[in-house]
Chains A and B, each alone.
Chain A
């Protein structure tokens, strides 16, 4: 069983403060981490490996710094890692990114499963997972919340959809994007860290994945960013402090007035 897990390195945001004036994140000195939602893909892959044997390979497109993310994944229990890194990859949109990662996975070859996180917490498009599946022409289950069974070349999964769950069955090789519900990611262990430290992670460029230069980076990206701007989010509405029965009642009156005025009741 060979499982490929595409991951992305993203800025760590849990300690980031908001700038109340601009409503933007204060991003100075923010460190880079594995996209939190990719951890569930990694965990899912490792559990499948533990159950059915085989290997888990993480693949990531990004600068050399992304090696940290790959090594962290290996410290968690993945077996190998590949970094897709080249100046030509820079400025890729989701189409070009999917193209590069899909080509990387083709190079790895004879895989059974590609497991992606639901989306990255920075770009937040959720398009690269399905994009990779499309490039590789794989059956796909998005928003996968549980793996029900895996046998004789088929995987049965449950996916989270509006109002409930759908169960579908895919022939292998197949692609999944998984949601948080599917597993609880493990922590990297000392053993894992030592293993990851020793490991040489191959870095592939366009030539290694016989990619068509026309499909890379900005040149290969159908979309263009016209402008980026900052929404003003702060409202600073009225604030009522509850100190006692009286103020408590005032507060609740305020809420009632608001709900009635805006016709929510």
Chain B
């Protein structure tokens, strides 16, 4: 249904973005654009050509060209995604926004920054922290990922409990539509109900409805201090029961409430040679608080700590300086790396269930894990019920066996259980093409029809990031 990219088309692309911003007939250089952070090679696909535009106008021209020749276009940020969203599954053009990496404006009067999509998320915080400001969006890949990708995926991450996800901070977008129109949505207005909320239609559209060229981001006052609590529990049930109590009894909203099951932290602690008495524990919570005074945080961690001790915690550790807090966050951050020692083939899942259902979900996971003899460490953002259940290839399986089990048995069953518990299959990583075949499990047909209608309206030739979401 799509046409191949011919040398003539490449010449036209060079016309638009210039010779040095086009990669063609160069396998080595293009290979990097054929995959994202999804471990499984099977999700990779080579582009025919990579273009690196530097303005909305250039992107608009590229889209019009692509429509004219029916060439698929796959927009790409830093390629740190976890759903295959930036992978050109139909080949064609990969449109990388890496050249559009400028912070255009820091507006302290309106607490806004205006950035291009290729800005590394953390870079924003680096430039505004001296003004006592920060951007609360905080995906775990914050050091490498681009803001554009964060918006396209509506990225969540570590701080969502208190600060919500990316979309909450997006007040304006300049978007190039699949047909090459340039839209200017929202801006620096705190309130805006004039017409449909197209901004939040675009946020999380995974690069299927438009390409962002300017992003208006709301900033927050930067908290002056933080404290981390590492809490050991005998089992998952006890650990999870605490989570709502922290907010109801404690009247405290932590920055993050991270959860680790024993499979996760035991592997990680052993890998790190961490000597805290983790063997006694069956589950861990890692709670981070931020605020403006050490005293305020002291009160809060006492409340939470006591609450935990009264409710069956084994031990509560307090980290109020960079050394100790690094030591406990290391446990959380090294889970994936630690499991790689066992097997590099993992499927980082991203399911969400109502917080109260996490223990039930964990039981189901255990059953599935036993049934297929596949270890499934579970960790993630307990505060949002967002659990990174991560099936890891048992070395005894061949790659074929593994992929068959994973895609045709294990994942469908896992997703089914999640949905039965009132959850859904992705909380922050997105559908992309990794979970596309499963989306119908989570959404009713009518919903998918509406989505398709929207897609058709904006992208009649179905050329923008085909093979993703719907």
Contacts and interface: CB of A to CB of B under 8 A. Distances in A.
A245 to B, nearest CB: 12
A14 B323 contact: yes
B302 A190 contact: yes
B99 to A, nearest CB: 20
Interface string B161-197: 0000000000000000000000000000000000000
Interface string A166-189: 000000000000000000101111
Question: Which range holds the interface residue count of chain B?
Answer: 20 to 34
B309 A190 contact: yes
B28 A189 contact: no
Nearest to A39: B323
B302 A194 contact: yes
A15 B28 CA distance: 35
B321 A33 contact: yes
Nearest to A72: B321
A243 B298 CA distance: 51
Interface stretch (B44-52, B116-124, B312-320): B312-320
Max chain A CB contacts within 10 Å: which of B229, B305, B321?
B321
Nearest to B31: A243
Given A75-B318, A193-B318, A243-B28, A187 B301 contact: no
Nearest to B276: A187
Nearest to A243: B28
B316 A190 contact: yes
B19 interface: no
A162 interface: no
Contacts of B323: 12, 14, 33, 36
B324 interface: yes
Contacts of A194: 302
Nearest to B298: A197
A72 B322 CA distance: 13
Interface in A19-58: 31, 33, 36
Nearest to A36: B323
A244 interface: yes
Nearest to B29: A243
Max chain B CB contacts within 10 Å: which of A12, A15, A191, A193?
A193
B305 A190 contact: yes
B316 A189 contact: yes
B321 A31 contact: yes
Interface in B320-340: 321-324, 326-328
Interface in A187-229: 187-194, 197
A220 B100 CA distance: 61
Contact of B322 (A15, A192, A197, A243): A15
B396 interface: no
A14 B315 CA distance: 26
Contacts of B328: 187
Interface string B104-132: 00000000000000000000000000000
Given A184-B275, A197-B298, A244-B28, A189 B318 contact: yes
Contacts, number: 55
Max chain B CB contacts within 10 Å: which of A187, A193, A243?
A187
B322 A187 contact: no
Interface in B276-323: 276, 298, 301-302, 305-306, 309, 315-319, 321-323
B306 A190 contact: yes
Contacts of A36: 323
Interface in B32-80: none
A12 B324 CA distance: 11
B230 interface: yes
B327 A187 contact: yes
Contact of A188 (B275, B302, B324): B324
A163 to B, nearest CB: 25
B317 A187 contact: yes
Nearest to A28: B130
B192 to A, nearest CB: 37
A214 to B, nearest CB: 37
B123 to A, nearest CB: 14
Contacts of A186: 275-276
Contacts of A189: 315-318
Max chain A CB contacts within 10 Å: which of B298, B322, B328?
B322
A243 B26 CA distance: 13
B298 A190 contact: no
A194 B28 CA distance: 58
A32 to B, nearest CB: 8
A248 to B, nearest CB: 13
Contacts of A72: 321
A187 B321 contact: no
A175 to B, nearest CB: 26
Contacts of A190: 229, 301-302, 305-306, 309, 316-318
A244 B31 CA distance: 13
Contacts of A75: 318
Contacts of A191: 316
A15 B317 CA distance: 21
A191 B28 CA distance: 57
A187 B230 contact: yes
Contacts of B324: 187-188
Contacts of A244: 28
Nearest to A188: B318
Max chain A CB contacts within 10 Å: which of B276, B315, B324, B326?
B324
A189 B229 CA distance: 9
Nearest to B273: A184
A188 B322 contact: no
A36 B229 CA distance: 20
A247 to B, nearest CB: 10
Contacts of A15: 322, 326
Contacts of B275: 184, 186
Nearest to A194: B302
Interface of B: 28, 229-230, 275-276, 298, 301-302, 305-306, 309, 315-319, 321-324, 326-328
13 contacts: A12-B322, A14-B326, A15-B322, A33-B322, A36-B323, A186-B275, A186-B276, A187-B230, A187-B319, A187-B327, A188-B319, A188-B324, A193-B318
